[in-house]
Structure 1
Amino acid sequence: MSKSFNIKTGDEVKVIAGKDKGATGKVIRVLRDEDRLVVEGVNIIKRHLKAGQNAAGQQTPGGIVAAEAPIHVSNVQLLEDGKPVRIGFRRDAVTKRRPDGSTYSAERSVRISRASGKEI
């Protein structure tokens, strides 16, 4: 069963704990199984790569490569208009269409800001 996160790819977040506390960035990737996120420009690590060949037989250069490492989802908070907000959910009634052309009513879950009530 897949876990559900309040934060999704593309959201702007602020780091609230750890060595990069106070930094903001966009979520690049969500790792649901590990409860972690990869945030642009946050938790930068360096890896030493040996020169060699890739699967296509092309030469790859070696050197020191900097990349973002995942951070725990509890260490970030969603930003809305540059301010940290808590996330809530609202169920909206929608009309859906079946492949045969008939319609039916259903509900859709929408993320909202607890402070303003606006849809995120």
Structure 2
Amino acid sequence: MPARKPLHIKKGDLVRVIAGRDRGVEGKVIAVDTARRRVFVEGANRVKRHTKVVQAQGRQGKTGGIVTQEASIPVSNVALLVEVDGKKVPTRVGYERREVEKRRADGTTYTGYRSVRIARKTGEEI
């Protein structure tokens, strides 16, 4: 099986839904499902789940009812937002290798590289 491409969206990112029923909704990414290539966005794709009353032995059980929660959205249907001149604008994500100083367990330092996400629109680190 071929190796999967990494997702450019991470938990905590601010995104805008660009396709589907909730197009235009902006929210924070709650969770990322890398295996299924889907993201959960706060306030987008809300569905109702019917939960059953669970009787626990000797302690209080879970109450049943209808619960509204977010369902997943394909990662291709969201765009990362960055702030430019006080406005939130969608951008693509790029990667750059930056030189950083790292420290070994014995206290000595050395120069290494680390990959950082870059907003293509502004060129700044995300």
Cα distance, 1:50 vs structure 2: 1.5
SS of residue matched to 1:92: strand
Counterpart residue number, 2:114: 108
Letter paired with 2:35? D
Counterpart residue number, 2:50: 48
The percent of aligned pairs where both chains have the same amino acid is 52
With normalisation by structure 2, the TM-score equals 0.88
With normalisation by structure 1, the TM-score equals 0.92
**Structure 1: runs of 5 or more not aligned:** none
Instruction: Note the aligned Cα RMSD (angstroms).
Output: 1.7
CA distance 1:54–1:74, change in 2 (3 Å)? farther
User: Larger deviation: 44-53 or 91-100?
Assistant: 44-53
Cα distance, 1:57 vs structure 2: 3.6
Runs of 4+ in 1 over 3 A off after TM superposition: 54-57
**Counterparts of 1:72 and 1:84, CA distance in 2:** 17
CA distance 1:54–1:16, change in 2 (3 Å)? farther
SS of residue matched to 1:65: strand
| Count of matched residue positions in the alignment of Structure 1 and Structure 2 | 120
Counterpart residue number, 1:8: 10
Cα distance, 1:56 vs structure 2: 7.6
**Structure 2: runs of 5 or more not aligned:** none
CA distance 1:27–1:56, change in 2 (3 Å)? farther
CA distance 1:99–1:54, change in 2 (3 Å)? farther
Letter paired with 2:125? E
CA distance 1:91–1:54, change in 2 (3 Å)? farther
Counterpart residue number, 2:38: 36
